[in-house]
């Protein structure tokens, strides 16, 4: 067995790299075809999810295989090899098996214990079988991984160690509140109709949302998902399908939007989100902590004695955040030349008033000013100009009116949307940060033991299977010897009747079988142990077996396995 896996995941690479290296369906197909066409690889499979890209291959040379698989990943992901290499990990033989089994059990997932990875492994195997890049090793490995994952979920409480990515994302949106209570009565928009989007829709429907709207580029798939949700037992959700062109309008009505498509660009820009929120709530979506463009919490008009009330000021005093000067850099950012000149002239006129206030300022007022500035620095990270010393006040961010969950890789929703007032965005990157310190359940240790046992069993089975063609070739040779000797006996005893001939044939065969039984059984046992691969070579040497005969048996078995594995995984 020469199994090699080269890949990167949320554990080895930042989300920005994973996002750029993500592989679409066409790219995965081309990667598989190019991998098996490469010299070191005989068969291959790709496992590509929202937070991992892994290429599995049966190779005949380790170093050449690592170099070739790494190069292929870089070529098809579009990320340069030099940039990609620091984030790649490599597993070989038993360690590669251990890695996939751990992945199948949810031990390597962003949310420990999530079961959705099993469906993704199944899809990966089906794709490799369809493209005929899956051989005996790949089929055995992935099918065993599916069984190990199912065993882990049925025999342990690994499900309690974490939730699905969808549930975890909804918990982050609700800030730890009960998801069922938080979603009750809300309107949900689902963008995409794939497996992750379908899971999100079903989760929200069970949680008690009032309406689910499904948008997809293929309208028929959106209709199908909406129909499934409507017919599902245990929910009273109203579900309907809309074309992708209707997303902007539906976003103005939605309370929660979940997006997971295969698009290579943004599905929702920050501008589109801002427009939707303004159209829904009639409030400004200026970034929190930045220059306001409309009335914000904490904003106020300047006092009547301030310069900002004088005629000729090019700014709207009501838009200035409390405690910040209309003289400062934030006030003039983005002004054109004419407006900037007008602002300077207005400031010059206002300096008389400012000097009068400075003359009245006492030592106590200066101390108060210094304290206020220090508080502001701790809050906003810089010292803005002030008209007068006032205590620093944190601008209260309004409660969100639109909750966005982006589960796509690369991302569907512009990350800048999280700075908009009235919006809360949770994406893959923020989920990775939130789950980094998640506690591990006690059941995880039990799953690890299951994985270790299954890896040992898989290795033993593969080593035993490696010697099977040699044993079959040995028995075939013995049968040929028996047939030849019986033919020679019939030539010497032409008058031998059928009864005696049959007895002689059976006796000779029993003798041969008894002589071969103990050594063939024992050699299989020895071959299943670590380091037992050499027993096949010893058997071929001892009995002078033709290597081509053994290879022919292997090819015949591989052909049979391939036909059996072309069905659904």
- Which residues are known to be catalytic? 50
Tell me the C-alpha distance between 367 and 363, whole Å: 6
Q: Is 194 annotated as a binding residue?
A: yes
**What does each C-alpha distance from 408 to 232, 253, 476 come to in angstroms?**
25, 22, 55
Tokens of 493: 């005893």
Please enumerate in sequence order all residues whose Cβ is within 8 A of that of 220, keeping only pairs 6 or more positions apart, or say none.
none
SS3 (DSSP) at 399: coil
Tell me the C-alpha distance between 468 and 178, whole Å: 56
Tell me the C-alpha distance between 322 and 302, whole Å: 8
Q: Is 49 annotated as a binding residue?
A: yes
Cis before 410 (ω within 30): yes
Strand partners of residue 149? none
Q: Is 197 annotated as a binding residue?
A: yes
Give the β-pairing of 256-259 and 402-406: parallel
Q: What are phi and psi of 193, to 5 degrees?
A: -135, 25
Tell me the C-alpha distance between 296 and 293, whole Å: 8
SS3 (DSSP) at 284: coil
Long-range contacts of 470-473 (CB under 8 A, 24+ apart): 470/536, 470/539, 470/540, 470/545, 470/550, 471/520, 471/523, 471/524, 471/539, 472/553, 473/540, 473/545, 473/546, 473/549, 473/550, 473/553
Q: Is 139 annotated as a binding residue?
A: no
In 58-177, where does DSSP find H-type helix? 62-77, 81-84, 94-104, 116-130, 136-155, 165-173
Q: Is 296 annotated as a binding residue?
A: no
Rg (CA), the chain: 35
Residues 195, 222 contacting (CB under 8 angstroms)? no
Tell me the C-alpha distance between 22 and 39, whole Å: 25
Q: Is 51 annotated as a binding residue?
A: yes
Tokens of 518: 């103990």
The CA-CA-CA angle for residues 369, 373, 379, to 5°, reads 150
Q: Is 116 annotated as a binding residue?
A: yes
Q: Is 33 annotated as a binding residue?
A: no
The residue with tokens 């991302």 is 411
Tell me the C-alpha distance between 462 and 177, whole Å: 49
Tell me the C-alpha distance between 422 and 286, whole Å: 9
Q: Is 120 annotated as a binding residue?
A: yes
Q: Is 109 annotated as a binding residue?
A: yes
Tell me the C-alpha distance between 432 and 89, whole Å: 19
Q: Is 114 annotated as a binding residue?
A: yes
- Residue ranges of the annotated binding site are 49-52, 109, 114-116, 120, 192-197
- Residue ranges of the annotated binding site for NADP(+) are 192-197
- Residue ranges of the annotated binding site for substrate are 49-52, 109, 114-116, 120
């Amino acid at each position: 067995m020469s199994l090699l896996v080269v890949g990167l995941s949320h554990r080895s690479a930042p989300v920005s790299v994973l996002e750029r290296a993500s592989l679409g369906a066409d790219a995965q197909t081309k990667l598989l075809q190019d991998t098996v066409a490469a010299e070191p690889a005989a068969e291959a499979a790709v496992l590509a999810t929202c937070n991992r890209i892994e290429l599995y291959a049966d190779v005949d040379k380790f170093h050449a295989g690592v170099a070739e698989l790494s190069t292929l990943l870089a070529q098809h992901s579009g990320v340069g090899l030099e940039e990609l290499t620091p984030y790649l990990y490599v597993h070989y033989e038993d360690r590669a098996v251990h890695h996939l089994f751990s992945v199948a059990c949810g031990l390597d997932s962003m949310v420990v214990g999530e079961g959705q990875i099993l469906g993704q492994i199944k899809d990966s195997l089906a794709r490799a079988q369809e493209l005929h890049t899956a051989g005996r090793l790949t089929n055995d490995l992935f099918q065993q991984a599916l069984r190990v994952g199912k065993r882990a979920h049925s025999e342990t409480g690994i499900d309690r160690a974490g939730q699905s990515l969808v549930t975890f994302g909804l918990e982050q949106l609700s800030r730890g509140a009960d998801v069922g209570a938080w979603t009750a009565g809300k309107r949900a928009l689902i963008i995409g109709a794939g497996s992750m989007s379908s899971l999100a829709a079903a989760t929200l429907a069970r949680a008690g949302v009032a309406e689910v709207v499904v948008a997809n580029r293929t309208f028929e798939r959106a209709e199908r998902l909406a129909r499934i949700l409507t017919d599902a037992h245990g929910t009273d959700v109203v579900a309907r399908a809309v074309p992708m062109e209707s997303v902007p309008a539906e976003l103005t009505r939605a309370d929660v939007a979940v997006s997971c498509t295969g698009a290579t660009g943004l599905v929702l820009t920050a501008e589109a989100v801002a427009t939707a929120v303004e159209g829904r709530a009639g409030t400004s979506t200026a970034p929190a902590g930045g220059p306001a463009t409309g009335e914000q919490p904490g904003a106020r008009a300047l006092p009547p004695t301030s310069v900002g009330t004088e005629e000729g000021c090019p700014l709207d005093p009501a838009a200035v955040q409390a405690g910040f000067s209309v003289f400062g850099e934030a006030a003039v950012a983005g002004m054109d030349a004419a407006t900037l000149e007008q602002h300077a002239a207005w400031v010059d006129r206002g300096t008389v008033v400012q000097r009068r206030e400075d003359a009245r300022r006492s030592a106590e007022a200066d101390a108060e000013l210094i304290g206020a500035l220090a508080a502001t620095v701790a809050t906003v990270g810089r010292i803005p100009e002030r008209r007068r010393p006032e205590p620093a006040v944190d601008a209260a961010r309004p409660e969100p009116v639109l909750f966005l969950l982006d589960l796509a890789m690369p991302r569907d929703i512009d990350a800048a949307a999280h700075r908009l007032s009235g919006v809360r965005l949770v994406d893959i990157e923020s989920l990775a940060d939130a789950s980094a310190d998640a506690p591990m359940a006690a059941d995880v240790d039990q799953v690890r033991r299951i994985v270790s046992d299954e890896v040992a069993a898989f290795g033993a089975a593969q080593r035993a299977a490696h010697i099977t063609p040699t044993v079959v070739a040995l028995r075939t040779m013995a049968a040929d010897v028996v047939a030849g000797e019986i033919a020679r006996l019939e030539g010497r005893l032409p008058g031998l009747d059928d009864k005696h001939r049959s007895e002689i044939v059976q006796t000779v065969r029993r003798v041969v079988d008894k002589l071969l039984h103990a050594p063939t059984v024992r050699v299989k046992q020895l071959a299943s142990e670590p380091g037992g691969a050499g027993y096949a070579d010893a058997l071929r040497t001892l009995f002078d077996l033709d290597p081509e005969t053994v290879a022919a048996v292997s090819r015949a078995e591989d052909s049979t396995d391939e036909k059996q594995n072309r069905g659904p995984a």
